[in-house]
């Protein structure tokens, strides 16, 4: 495939938000290029090994359909997904198919390194490829880099971390283990309920994914003996499709701002140190893990929060928890405010009432002061609390899809983003806002 240097739409960053944006815009006939730093797709859903998909059902109403459901269906067909848990290989395989079916060009091994802006319009990006630097022109740009890279490179306004303290959520290096006797360890949880997190109900259906979080009594003892990381308070894992396998969202890397490469190096080193101690602890101390073994660690440390855009509207924690509705709704969600606390900061998980959901407004995808830049996924315009709810994969997919639809309509109608009639955007997204 020969790439050109001019497209209708350039999407930067191929995590679930960028993939969803590109698939939607491609399906509407736009000429789309998706740029990705890695030589593979998925961002946190793949390099970060993040699984499962967080919930997107309000009661029995599914809030996110569209590209997200196509990814899910594809992974189930491959045998790479059960319940809401999935393998990174299945995600990459399905996403590659969807992008090629919708005629999206992909530039792997490519970094956006600069943005040339005139009167709020991004005119072109500078990209670094294995062949050197080149310019890339487009009419519309979508920032799904997770780190709001296009926003920052274009010198559009952005925020980072807590509004008062600047603190960023903790980092986590995911890992997977095999050979776990899940039934045995589940039995142990039932006899030590006080050592497990309050949301656990200890009723297990082994045909479905199960989640276990705790072992605090055993951890306390191991910490006293100096063989468990101080930063980690509990072991959290979900079982994956194959029997005896678990995905561990357990390491807890604190005091690091992952937006610089030196800090990321430090995070990577700390993450691997923690994995070694935690797996050793599980083997030695935890019933059911006697024969368990480390299968793999994620390609990179998982990043929950870095830069996010200042947008025309910033979704707040109150919008989330009070289930706000907006006239310019483009997506919906029901996940609450989930902040993995930094050093000296308490973690939070504030949920919505059962069955409630909130709208995500189009304006939160419109990077402030820009004419042709939209943001989705982790780059979304929100306060720290709002961001802590909207960052999950189903919502990232829905906001990406909304960017793809809006940008494709702007191209089709030969108009600016702000002049695309909302009714037309709405019609493209009914499955995510009216179903």
Ligand X SMILES: Cc1cc2nc3c(=O)[nH]c(=O)nc-3n(C[C@H](O)[C@H](O)[C@H](O)COP(=O)(O)OP(=O)(O)OC[C@H]3O[C@@H](n4cnc5c(N)ncnc54)[C@H](O)[C@@H]3O)c2cc1C
The number of beta carbons lying within 10 Å of the beta carbon of residue 354 is 8
Best CA proximity match to 3, nearest among 26, 34, 30: 34
Q: List Cα–Cα distances, 149 to 27, 220, 372, 383, in angstroms.
A: 26, 41, 15, 18
Distance in angstroms (rounded) separating the CA atoms of residues 148 and 138: 18
Token pair, residue 189, equals 């949880």
Per-state percent for the chain, helix, strand, coil, to nearest 5? 35, 25, 40
* Binding of ligand X by 11 (CB under 6 A): no
Q: Which is nearer to ligand X, 50 or 222 (CB)?
A: 50
In angstroms, give the least distance from the CB of 229 to ligand X: 16
In angstroms, give the least distance from the CB of 405 to ligand X: 17
Distance in angstroms (rounded) separating the CA atoms of residues 190 and 172: 27
Distance in angstroms (rounded) separating the CA atoms of residues 82 and 76: 7
Beta pairing partners, 239: 246
Q: Which of residues 175-204 bind ligand X (CB under 6 A)?
A: none
* Binding of ligand X by 44 (CB under 6 A): yes
* Binding of ligand X by 267 (CB under 6 A): no
Distance in angstroms (rounded) separating the CA atoms of residues 212 and 260: 33
Q: List Cα–Cα distances, 23 to 7, 73, 225, 433, in angstroms.
A: 15, 15, 52, 18
Q: Which string of x and - marks every residue 310-349 that binds ligand X (by CB under 6 A)?
A: ----------------------------------------
Q: Which is nearer to ligand X, 126 or 283 (CB)?
A: 126
Q: Which is nearer to ligand X, 188 or 334 (CB)?
A: 334
Q: Which of residues 135-164 bind ligand X (CB under 6 A)?
A: 144-147, 149
Q: Which string of x and - marks every residue 354-393 that binds ligand X (by CB under 6 A)?
A: -----------------------xx------------xxx
Distance in angstroms (rounded) separating the CA atoms of residues 300 and 45: 11
Q: Which string of x and - marks every residue 239-258 that binds ligand X (by CB under 6 A)?
A: ----------x---------
Distance in angstroms (rounded) separating the CA atoms of residues 278 and 179: 16
In angstroms, give the least distance from the CB of 169 to ligand X: 8
Best CA proximity match to 396, nearest among 331, 346, 336, 344: 331
* Binding of ligand X by 38 (CB under 6 A): yes
* Binding of ligand X by 303 (CB under 6 A): yes
Distance in angstroms (rounded) separating the CA atoms of residues 31 and 124: 16
Single out the segment in contact with ligand X by CB under 6 A; choices: 93-101, 256-264, 297-305, 343-351: 297-305
Single residue of 8, 10, 18, 365 touching ligand X by CB under 6 A: 18
In angstroms, give the least distance from the CB of 29 to ligand X: 23
In angstroms, give the least distance from the CB of 127 to ligand X: 8
Q: Contacts with ligand X: how many residues (CB under 6 A)?
A: 37
In angstroms, give the least distance from the CB of 75 to ligand X: 14
Single residue of 14, 22, 367, 420 touching ligand X by CB under 6 A: 14
* SS3 of residue 32 by DSSP: strand
Q: Which is nearer to ligand X, 211 or 277 (CB)?
A: 211
**Binding site residues, ligand X, CB under 6 A:** 12-18, 35-38, 43-45, 48, 50, 52-54, 111-112, 144-147, 149, 172, 249, 302-304, 377-378, 391-393, 396
């Amino acid at each position: 495939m020969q790439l050109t240097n001019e497209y209708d739409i350039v999407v930067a960053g191929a995590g679930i938000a960028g993939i969803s944006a590109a698939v939607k815009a491609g399906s509407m006939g736009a000429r789309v290029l998706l740029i990705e730093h890695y030589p593979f797709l998925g961002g946190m859903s793949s390099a970060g090994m993040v699984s499962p998909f967080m919930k997107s059902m309000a009661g029995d109403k599914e809030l996110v359909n569209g590209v997200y459901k196509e990814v899910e269906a594809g992974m189930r067909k491959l045998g790479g997904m059960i319940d809401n848990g999935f393998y990174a290989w299945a995600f990459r395989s399905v996403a590659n198919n969807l992008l090629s079916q919708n005629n999206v060009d992909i530039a792997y091994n490519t970094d956006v390194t600069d943005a040339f802006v005139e009167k709020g319009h991004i005119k072109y990006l500078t990209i670094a490829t294995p062949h050197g630097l080149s310019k890339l022109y487009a009419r519309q740009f979508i920032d799904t880099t997770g780190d709001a890279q296009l926003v920052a490179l274009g010198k559009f306004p952005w925020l980072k971390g807590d509004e008062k303290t600047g603190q960023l959520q903790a980092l986590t290096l995911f890992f997977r283990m095999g050979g776990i006797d899940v039934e045995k360890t589940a039995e142990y949880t039932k006899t030590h309920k006080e050592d497990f997190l309050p949301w656990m109900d200890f009723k297990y259906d082994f045909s479905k994914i199960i989640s276990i979080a705790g072992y605090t009594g055993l951890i306390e003892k191991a910490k006293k003996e100096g063989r468990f990381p101080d930063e980690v308070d509990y072991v959290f894992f979900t079982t994956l499709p194959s029997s005896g396998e678990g995905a561990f969202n357990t390491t807890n890397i604190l005091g690091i701002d992952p937006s610089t490469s030196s800090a990321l190096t430090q995070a990577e080193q700390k993450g691997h140190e923690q994995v070694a101690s935690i797996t050793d602890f599980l083997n030695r101390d935890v019933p059911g893990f006697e024969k368990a073994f480390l299968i793999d660690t994620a390609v990179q440390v998982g990043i929950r929060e870095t830069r996010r855009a200042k947008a025309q509207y910033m979704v707040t924690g109150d919008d989330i928890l009070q289930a706000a509705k907006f006239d310019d709704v483009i997506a919906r969600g029901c996940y609450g405010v989930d902040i993995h606390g930094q050093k000296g900061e308490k973690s939070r998980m504030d949920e919505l009432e059962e069955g409630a959901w909130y709208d995500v407004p189009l304006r939160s995808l419109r990077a402030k002061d820009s004419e042709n830049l939209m943001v989705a996924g982790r780059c979304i315009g929100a306060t720290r609390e709002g961001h802590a709810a909207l960052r999950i994969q189903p919502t990232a997919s829905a906001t990406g899809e909304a960017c793809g639809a809006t940008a494709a309509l702007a191209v089709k109608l030969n108009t600016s983003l702000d002049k695309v009639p909302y009714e037309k955007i709405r019609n493209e997204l009914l499955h995510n806002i009216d179903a």
